[in-house]
Amino acid sequence: MDGESSELIRVAAVRGAAPGPAWSFALAPGAALWIPDGTDSGRTWLDWLTGIEPPPHGQVFWKGVEWRDRDPAAAAAERGRIGCTFADGGLLANLDMDENVWLPARIHRRAAAAEAIEEWARFFGVWPLPAERAPAVRERDRRKIAWTRAFAGRPEMLVLERPLRGAPAEDAALLRAAVVRVRAAGCAVVWLDEDLDAETRAALAPLAVAAPERD
């Protein structure tokens, strides 16, 4: 781990562009954190946490190093250790579904990628991965394919942005079980959503809840 910090990620006095309170929190390997966040909050947490874009105010430290202090190649390599699901799906329209899952593995030259991809695709019930574009694949399967992509990279941290929106109960149970499994292996989990149902809270326990700082 870079630096001398045992924290995987630390957020220090982060605020969006609009006036509002600052947010500060830290997350250790294997821990879970819920950030209560609505779609209209104006806070692009997924981009900030993964170093894609810096927050307008404050700092985000990954493994003890602020994202902006890494050179582009090093930052890209570290982002390869973070799995993400996006509220809008995040699948590239110009790639088949199987290519979408394989793309991060190829970019980051992951060892044993084929085994990990098959393992998680089977877990989520989408194996074999369809060699078809998104319009030919039903929404339910597209969602689980996006989950497969996030989990198959053996991530050190997962950032899940409203991952259960529209998911049937059976699929939601699968995702919760997957989160429990990777946390046991040391993966930290950040859950971004406005609300959490009781079953998800139980699956994420012990669960820390981020809150804005008080003036």
Other CB atoms closer than 10 Å to residue 127's CB: what's the count? 14
Asked whether residue 46 is domain-assigned, the answer is no
Q: Is residue 17 part of a domain?
A: no
Q: What CA–CA distance (Å, rounded) separates 210 from 99? A: 35
Tally of domains in the chain: 1
Q: Is residue 124 part of a domain?
A: yes
Tokens for 170, please give them.
Answer: 């059976």
Residue 33 is assigned to a structural domain of this protein: yes
Query: Residue for token digits 């995987």?
Result: 8
49 found inside a domain: no
CATH classification at residue 101: 3.40.50.300
**Tokens 């998911």, located at residue:** 167
Q: Which two tokens stand for residue 171?
A: 């699929």
63 in any annotated domain: no
The string of pLDDT tens digits covering residues 70-91 is 999 999 999 999 999 999 889 9
Residue-level pLDDT, tens digit, the chain, 215 residues: 444 458 999 999 999 988 889 999 999 999 999 999 877 677 899 999 999 999 999 999 999 999 999 999 999 999 999 999 999 889 999 999 999 999 999 998 888 899 999 999 999 999 999 999 999 999 999 999 999 999 999 999 999 999 999 999 999 999 999 999 999 999 999 999 999 999 999 999 999 999 999 86
Sign for the pseudo-dihedral over CA of 193, 21, 28, 75:
positive
Report whether 185 contacts 28 (CB < 8 A): no
Residue 56 counted as domain residue: no
Alpha helices for 65-189 (secondary structure H): 72-79, 97-107, 113-123, 139-151, 169-184
**Three-state DSSP class for 82?**
strand
Domain assignment of residue 72, yes or no: no
Query: Residue 84 sits in which domain range?
Result: 29-41+79-209
